[in-house]
Structure formats: structure tokens, C-alpha cells
Amino acid sequence: MLHSRIYFSAIKKSCKLVVLTAITMMMSSGLLAQSKPAAPKSNPAKSPGAPVEKAPGKVAVNSTERIDSANLGPVILATDTVFSVQEKLMGHTSSTESLAISPDGKWLATGGWDRKILLYSMDSMGGFKLAKTFTGHNGAVTCLTFDAASTLLASGSKDFSLRVVNILDGSLVFQTMDHRDAITAVEFEATGKFVLTASMDGTIRLYDIVNPTNNQKPRLYTYGKPVNDLLTAPNGKTFFVANNGNNNVESIDFTGKVYQTFTGIHTMPVNCLGLSNNKRMLVTGGNDKSVVIWDIATGKPLKTLLGHTWKVNSVAFTKNDQYLVSTGNDGEIRVWDVNTGVCVSVQKNLISTAKEAKFTPNNKLMLVAGKMSAQGATFGAIVYRTPPIWTKAKPAPVKPAPVKSAPVKSAMPAGSKK
């Protein structure tokens, strides 16, 4: 019996050694790395790589975690695949600085250091055609925006000028050079009759572009610090301001009254702003390389997203607010899952300085402007196709066929009388 026990014990040790050796060989050959383990059922905040079921436009508002993708690396979730380059728009003769997509999804505008604005028409299949070229600025075009009706395009420049053009007939609607430094942000008021501008000269101005005579007494607010970016707040009466003098974002009106302050997270000035489509979240990108998502109702941070290695130049949400994109001076275009804070995609190597990125309203494309060089040519913008599952149509619910009830037979025996 003693010899038998010793014999079987030796066999068990031998088997364990064989299994461990096999596992080691599989890991070294990458076989185990290629297999996908079943996603554990856990709290998304505790397990950022796990797939998360989420309703469009909703985000966990009780989270304030810092998520460092430099340690995690891009994590491909079950709802994400690969971004692919569709094409490069090559109309500019020098680096692009800005871009805008019309609310109806039919137009793309890009502005560059060549002082030109290129207007492309976009068809339903995602194809682009150069429709018009606008000139008139004497410096780089720093910011662009369409009005709500997708008929007017406003542009700001390093030459201190604001220009508003009609994209349908190409006519110049309005022009001014009141600012004394580069214009950094331009916004249409909801009706399209007024345009708001902000500048590195520390001023914010409002222009009546329908009745220019009303501008003889300009509506001007001297903010006192260089303005990096500006957005109209959801209430339509105040605006968010990111400045180059401190690390905060303020919600103010034209009297200078501060209604709200977003503070305590960024350690360097905020460079860019983005507003969610449900008007509940503000996203900020800073010179400190971080991206922060804020709850507008409370002014509290929801998530701090880390991963960029240089300052962040732009931030923008998808139409359904499930994802956001950030661009940096490091040339990286990072796409983040808003619900988990995980970086699901990093695009680089095609661009050395990523200035601005936006998604089309249907979420099918992501467009990026910046400094791009290949074979001595400078391109206008890169067009990426988003993961197909983002826009995959959900199957219509199958309705069960109505159940036909069998005819009720009489329980009375045959031949019986009522």
C-alpha cells in the first residue's frame, strides 16, 4: 500500500508539471491572449474593461474616479471595434486649425493656416465633394460654426476678424474686426440672428448680424483674461468661459456675474469645452493633459480621463452622448466611453498635432483637423469610419403570432336533451 501511494503521488506531481508547462507555452505563443474570457458581472466603475449595458445619453452621475489609460491602454469593449481611415481631404495648402459639421449633417467646413475655408457637401453614403472655397481672412482660421438652420457659417481668425457667409449662395453676410487679438471661439445664438465671439484680447462680444446698425453701440464684456474657449450654457442666457489666467471654467452673463464655477480638478488652464447633447454634461480639456466630465446641475466632476501626453486641444460628444473624442498636441485622437471612462480607441501616426475632431450627427464618421504631412503634402482633414456596431440597426421586436383558441365543445353527451 505504501508503494502504491508513493506511485500515485508521483503521477499527480507529473501531471501538474505537464499542465503548467502547457499553459506557459500557450501564453508565450499568444494563444491565451487571443481568447476572450467571459465578462464578469461586476460594477463598471470597479471593472472598467467589462462590457456595460447602457441607455443612450445616460451616465453614472455618482462617480468621480480618475481613469488613467496610460496604465490601462486602450480597451476594446464588446460594443467597440476598430476605427478605419476612409479618406484624406486634401484641399488645403497648409495645416488645418478648425472644422465644423452642420447640424443637418450635410456640410463640413475646414479652416487652415492658408487663410481659406473649404466647404464640403456630405452625401448620405458618407462621400465628400468640395462645394465652395471661402477667402477673406488674413490669418489662420481658428474657429468655425454653423447656425441651427445649416445655412450660415461663422468663422474667427488670428487676424482678429469675424466673418459670416451664406453657404447656399456664397455671399458675405457680416464682417467685423473689433477684436484686438485672435478670436478663439464663435457661437450662433439659437435664432441665428446673433453671433457671440471670444478672443485672446480678454473680451466677449455679441453681434446682431441681421441688423448690423444695432452694433453701433456694441454689446461688449471685458472678461479681463485671455479667453481660450466659450460655449453657450443650456439656459441660453449665460455662457461657459475657459480662460488662460486660471484653471477654472465659469458660467457668466454679460454683466460679469458668475453663476457657477467648475474648479478643483484641472491643474493648468482649460483649453477647450464641449457640451453634451442632452445638456447635462460639460467636458473640458486642459493644458494639464487631462479631460474632465462634469455634471452641470451640481458643478461636480464625474470622471477625470488621463492618457494624453501633451495639452488637449478639443473635446466633443457623439450625438447619443455615449462617447466623446479628444485631440491633443501629441497628435493623438482618443475616443472615450462616457459611461465607464475607458479609452476605447487611440488614433495616431497620421497627424502630428491634432487640433479638432467631431462626429457626424449619425455617428458614422469622425473627422479630424490638424497638422498632417505625408510625402511633402499637407492634408485638410482625416475622415475615419466609426465602429459599425455604433450605427447598427437594432432588429425590430418580434411580435408573437396571436394564439387561435380552439372552438369550445359542448360538455353535454351526444343525444342528450337540454
- Residue 43: what pLDDT? 40
Query: Is the Cβ–Cβ distance between 320 and 276 less than 8 Å?
Result: no
Query: Is the Cβ–Cβ distance between 384 and 347 less than 8 Å?
Result: yes
Give a yes or no: residue 72 inside a domain: yes
Give a yes or no: residue 97 inside a domain: yes
- Grid coordinates 466623446 are at which residue? 324
Rounded (to 5) percent helix, strand, coil in the chain: 10, 40, 50
Q: Are strands 84-89 and 381-385 parallel, antiparallel or unpaired?
A: antiparallel
CA distance 132 to 153: 12
CA distance 363 to 91: 24
* CATH code: domain of residue 171: 2.130.10.10
User: Which residues, other chains included, contact 96 with Cβ-Cβ below 8 Å and sequence gap of 6+?
Assistant: 110, 111, 112, 113, 355, 369, 370, 371, 372, 379, 380, 381
CA distance 361 to 175: 29
- Residue 389: what pLDDT? 77
| Number of domains, the chain | 1
E strands, 235-374, in order:
239-243, 249-252, 258-262, 270-275, 281-286, 291-295, 300-306, 312-317, 323-328, 333-337, 343-347, 353-359, 365-371, 373-374
**C-alpha separations of 394 from 44, 76, 362, 387 in Å:** 24, 21, 15, 15
Give a yes or no: residue 61 inside a domain: no
CA distance 174 to 151: 14
- Residue 393: what pLDDT? 54
Q: Are strands 300-306 and 66-68 parallel, antiparallel or unpaired?
A: parallel
pLDDT along the chain (418 residues), means of 10: 44 44 40 34 37 38 56 52 85 94 97 97 89 97 97 98 97 97 96 96 97 92 96 93 96 94 96 97 97 96 95 97 95 93 89 94 94 69 89 58 55 46
- Residue 125: what pLDDT? 80
H helix or E strand, kind and range, residue 231 = strand 227-232
Give a yes or no: residue 279 inside a domain: yes
Based on DSSP, count helices (H) and strands (E) in the chain, helices before strands.
3, 31
- Residue 396: what pLDDT? 55
Give a yes or no: residue 89 inside a domain: yes
The most distant pair of C-alpha atoms in the chain lies apart, rounded to whole Å, by 109
- Residue 282: what pLDDT? 98
Q: Are strands 373-374 and 377-378 parallel, antiparallel or unpaired?
A: antiparallel
Whole domain around residue 245: which residue ranges?
66-390
Q: What is the pTM of this model?
A: 0.77
Query: What region does 334 belong to: left with phi over 0, alpha with psi -120 to 50, or beta?
Result: beta
- Residue 4: what pLDDT? 44
pLDDT tens-place string over residues 223-257: 999 999 999 999 889 999 999 999 999 999 999 99
Give a yes or no: residue 263 inside a domain: yes
CA distance 48 to 44: 5
Residue whose C-alpha is closest to residue 155's, from 143, 137, 173: 143
Give a yes or no: residue 12 inside a domain: no
- Residue 187: what pLDDT? 96
- Residue 337: what pLDDT? 92
User: Which residues, other chains included, contact 225 with Cβ-Cβ below 8 Å and sequence gap of 6+?
Assistant: 202, 243, 244, 245, 246
Give a yes or no: residue 42 inside a domain: no
